[in-house]
Amino acid sequence: MSCEHLVCAQCAHPVIEGRCPLCRANRERMHNHGFAGLSPALIIGLLVALLFLSLAVKHLSGL
């Protein structure tokens, strides 16, 4: 869900504009995605790096 089409109940303006404190707070809340402040792309990248690292360790231990 995005805040582009939402209207603030307090100031009756689009939330995306952030005209009042309530708009700004809700816009920030909606735009904070991910886990522990990390973006989903960064989390996926870390998981892929961990996969390659584990495969490299497994390959090296088999030599």
Per-residue pLDDT at 45: 94
Per-residue pLDDT at 2: 63
What predicted TM-score, i.e. pTM, was given to this entire model? 0.46
**Environment class of 8 (CB within 10 Å of its CB; exposed 0-12, middle 13-18, buried 19+):** buried
Per-residue pLDDT in tens (0 to 9) along the chain, 63 residues? 566 788 888 999 988 888 999 988 888 887 766 666 677 788 899 999 999 999 999 999 876
Per-residue pLDDT at 56: 94
